[in-house]
Structure 1
Amino acid sequence: MADIADVTNDRILDELDQRLAARKLSGPRRVAEECEECGVKIPEERHKALLGRDCLLCAYCQTATESLASRGRRA
């Protein structure tokens, strides 16, 4: 029969396994070295900030794209 320490240890190991699995899934999906719109090199800091999401545009082009998209939704 397992004691409380064994049960606790099993729960901690299960949680650790879940977190490690989630971390593997949260890596970047598509990453570009240069912005697909303007060709400017995308800084490594932006890649890190968008970990788990696509990083295809520089911050300027991403902002412009989102701004145009939000205007289109209002119309």
Structure 2
Amino acid sequence: MADIADVSNDNILQELDRRLFARQLARPGRIVDECEECGDSIPLGRVEALKKSECVRCFDCQQIHELKEARRL
């Protein structure tokens, strides 16, 4: 059974892996660790899926942003 220190250590290592992977992605867009809109962590899967463009918002905030942009047009 894992104690609180093991769980905390696992979380820190997972976050470190995510940040190191994000830095290694060579692409023209920028990458941020947290959503610019809500401040939540952006899942690694989303960062990987957007290799050719910037990733500055979580999925939900990006949808809202795109809806607002569509209404302006």
Question: Which one has a bigger Cα radius of gyration?
Answer: 1
State percent identity of aligned pairs.
40
Distance (whole Å) between structure 1 residues aligned to residue 60 and residue 32 of structure 2: 15
Moved segments of 4+, more than 3 Å? none
Q: How many residues align?
A: 48
TM normalised by structure 1 equals 0.60
CA distance 1:59–1:49, change in 2 (3 Å): same
Unaligned runs of 5+ in 2: 1-25
CA distance 1:44–1:31, change in 2 (3 Å): same
TM normalised by structure 2 equals 0.61
Q: Equivalent residue for 1:50? A: 50
Unaligned runs of 5+ in 1: 1-25
